[in-house]
Amino acid sequence: MIININPLRPEKDGIRRAAMAIRAGGLVAFPTETVYGLGADALNDAACRKIFLAKGRPADNPLIVHVSSVGMAEKLAYIPVALLPIIKRVWPSPLTFIVKKRTRLPDSVTASLDTVAIRMPAHPIALALIKEADTPIAAPSANLSGKPSPTDAKTVVKDLKKSVDVILDGGPTFFGIESTVIDLRDFTLLRPGPFTPEEIEKTFGVKPRIPTAAAADETDKPASPGMKYRHYAPDTKLVLFTGRIGDLIDTFSTIEKPVCLLASKETCTSIKNTNVKKIILGSRNDGYEVAKNLFTALRSIDDLGVDLAVAEAFQENGIWLAVMNRLRKACGNVELSSKEDLLELFFTKRL
């Protein structure tokens, strides 16, 4: 069942119906300020197992538990007492904390780790749903495993219609990129997101440790299990160009084969070549705009009928750190930095 619902003043009736589905052990897709989530009662093991089945998610990739109050979080986990006043101030927000769990959570939610990921979403629909269900809601992004996260209900329908009991359609999400994940035990940034490292430092007075991409992806036991999985990649071959923008523009201005370019508005408008199928991510001066458009852009590559796509790289601070993290994963970490490498790719399509 799909229920249209006002994102700023959610109608009680829709929330009630979705909350009943959660209480009955069902699955509800709902908008948060980051992306759409696929939710189940976090205290109901059988319900949470349905999430893994619906998404095709590996059982060793734990879920984020969404709460509507700090008190609800404290029942599930040991929140460091010294940090409580700051957390009370900073939540609700797109900031997920890894903390030591209390025993009452099902193993399916935490993948049997002794920690749990918790956040309070800053979205009226998500908050109203958790409150009405009167239980914490475990919810990963509402997409098939490996695909980009959904930023609207239409995409949820495409991926998961068969397995969801209720979809709350509250329009597009606000940020369009998943929450920042930080391990509160040592301030390691496990996943960059809309809450930036600079904001974390300002809020907590601690500079977060940022693991290198290689350290995060390649160990057998990564600190955040989700990091080891292939994610966001289209079926079309996609590579990241990290070289000079001028070289990217020159090469694409003369290329004689149909090829897709995923780039900023500024780069796209400098290229007049009709062989280039452009997907505009947004302005190079607005990382939040690019973040918001990124997943829809990645999903649209496969509709273009080309066999190669190249993405522009951006700086790596603030929100751009999150954009680059998702882009790198979408490109399977295949990066090119020179005009020669780009040309070789076009002519041989070999990497």
Shortest separation between residue 158's beta carbon and ligand AMP, angstroms: 17
Binding to ligand AMP by residue 332, rule CB under 6 A?
A: no
Q: Residue 9: is it exposed, middle or buried by C-beta count within 10 angstroms (0-12/13-18/19+)?
A: exposed
Q: Which stretch binds ligand AMP (CB under 6 A): 79-87, 110-118, 126-134, 213-221?
A: 110-118
* CA separation for the pair 107, 59 (Å, rounded): 10
Binding to Mg ion by residue 224, rule CB under 5 A?
A: no
DSSP per position, 229-292? S--S--SSEEEEE-S-HHHHHHHHHH--S-EEEEE-HHHHHT---TTEEEEE---TT-HHHHHH
**Within 62-81, which residues bind ligand AMP (CB under 6 A)?**
62, 64
* Closer residue to Mg ion (CB): 217 or 266: 217
Residue 40 contacts residue 34 (beta carbons within 8 Å): no
* CA separation for the pair 225, 327 (Å, rounded): 19
339-348 vs 245-254: helix axis angle to the nearest 10? 30
Of all residues in the shown chain, the one whose CB is closest to ligand AMP is 226
* Closer residue to ligand AMP (CB): 227 or 345: 227
* Closer residue to ligand AMP (CB): 109 or 240: 109
Q: Which of 68, 141, 173, 196 binds Mg ion (CB under 5 A)?
A: 141
* Closer residue to Mg ion (CB): 7 or 140: 140
Q: For residue 308, give the nearest of 254, 266, 347 by alpha carbon.
A: 347
**Within 127-166, which residues bind ligand AMP (CB under 6 A)?**
140-141
Q: For residue 91, give the nearest of 79, 103, 76 by alpha carbon.
A: 79
Binding to ligand AMP by residue 98, rule CB under 6 A?
A: yes
* CA separation for the pair 244, 241 (Å, rounded): 8
Q: How many CB atoms lie within 10 A of CB 212?
A: 8
Among ligand AMP, Mg ion, none, the one that 92 touches (CB under a kind-dependent 5 to 8 A) is none
* Closer residue to Mg ion (CB): 44 or 96: 96
Binding to ligand AMP by residue 181, rule CB under 6 A?
A: yes
Using the 8-state DSSP alphabet, how is residue 186 labeled? T
* CA separation for the pair 314, 333 (Å, rounded): 15
Q: Which stretch binds Mg ion (CB under 5 A): 22-30, 56-64, 102-110, 133-141?
A: 133-141
* Closer residue to ligand AMP (CB): 147 or 237: 147
Q: Which of 113, 144, 213, 280 binds ligand AMP (CB under 6 A)?
A: 113
Instruction: Name the site residues for ligand AMP (rule: CB under 6 A).
Output: 61-62, 64, 98, 110, 113, 115-117, 140-141, 178, 181, 190-191, 224-227
